[in-house]
Structure 1
Amino acid sequence: MALQGPIPVTYEMLFPHGCYIVGEVEPVKDFDASTNGRFVQARDKHTSEPVWQVAVMDADPTLKPAQKTVAVKILAQAQPIPPAAMPGLPFTPVRFDHITVTPYVNANGRLAYSIRVREMTAVRPKPVRENTV
């Protein structure tokens, strides 16, 4: 099979309705290397870059409440800084680029996906089309 490892996807494929940051960007713990009182940050096994994580809410209105919040892992040398909050919005819209998903079976025996990205940016407003007659 030609498809092995993380599967590249676009932002529009993963979050067609957009998504919003609902948590802080935090380092991901390497559970194998960490010990009592000693935190070791996880590193990506392909690039060796530090792994960070942020919780986001998928804006898809058809999702059940339990499916709306997902963790997105960000590969970056320094802690990523979320975009500035937008006035009048309770959550900050965000866009991700260079996305891969890795399917796995979770502890409940259900199919789940690990989402990894290389870049987190602010959402740019869509250009307004003028009516032309």
Structure 2
Amino acid sequence: MALQGPIPISFDQVFPHGCYLVGNVEQVKDFDASANGRTVYAKDKTTGEPVWQIPVMDGDPTVKASQKTVAVKLLSTTEPTAPPAVPGMPITPVEFVGMTVTPYVAQNGRLAYSIRATGMRPPRAKQTPASKEVAA
């Protein structure tokens, strides 16, 4: 099979209605390697970079409430910095760059996806097609 490993995907394909930070950036613990009070943090198997995660809320109004919040994993040698809060908004909009998705079978037997990114930033302004002027 030609597809192996994480599949590159755009932010707009994953979050067409945008997404919002609902928690803090945290380094992911490697529970299998941690023992005897010693914490070991997860590293990406391909790049060796530390893995961080941040919970976000999907802006899609059709998504069920129980599926609104997902964790996006960030690969970065330093702790990723969240975009600044938007004045007057209770939650911060965010956009991820360098995104990949990895499908897997969850413990309940259903298909699930691991979403990863290499960075985050404030959302770009949505591009709209330029209106064409008709020559008289």
Asked if TM exceeds 0.5, the reply is yes
- Give the deviation of 1:8 after TM superposition: 0.7
Equivalent residue number for residue 82 of structure 1: 82
Equivalent residue number for residue 68 of structure 2: 68
Equivalent residue number for residue 109 of structure 2: 109
**1:98 and 1:24 mapped to 2: Cα distance?**
20
Q: Residue 40 of structure 2 aligns to a residue in which SS?
A: coil
Q: Which runs of 5+ in 1 are unaligned?
A: none
Equivalent residue number for residue 95 of structure 1: 95
**Structure with larger Rg:** 2
Q: Residue 108 of structure 2 aligns to a residue in which SS?
A: coil
Identity of aligned residues (%): 62
State how many pairs are aligned: 133
Which 4+ residue blocks in structure 1 deviate beyond 2 angstroms?
124-130
Q: Return the TM-score normalized by structure 2.
A: 0.91
Q: What amino acid is aligned across from residue 46 of structure 1 in structure 2? A: T
Equivalent residue number for residue 43 of structure 2: 43
Q: Residue 107 of structure 2 aligns to a residue in which SS?
A: coil
- Give the deviation of 1:72 after TM superposition: 0.3
1:47-104 Cα shifts (integer Å, max 9, x gaps)? 0000000000000000000111000000000110100100111110000011111111
User: Is 1:3 paired with 2:3?
Assistant: yes
- Give the deviation of 1:127 after TM superposition: 6.6
- Which has the higher mean CA deviation after the structures are superposed, 103-112 or 71-80? 103-112
Q: Which runs of 5+ in 2 are unaligned?
A: none
Q: Residue 71 of structure 1 aligns to a residue in which SS?
A: strand
Equivalent residue number for residue 56 of structure 1: 56
**2:110 and 2:90 mapped to 1: Cα distance?**
32
- Give the deviation of 1:33 after TM superposition: 1.1
Distance 1:127 1:108, change over 3 A: closer
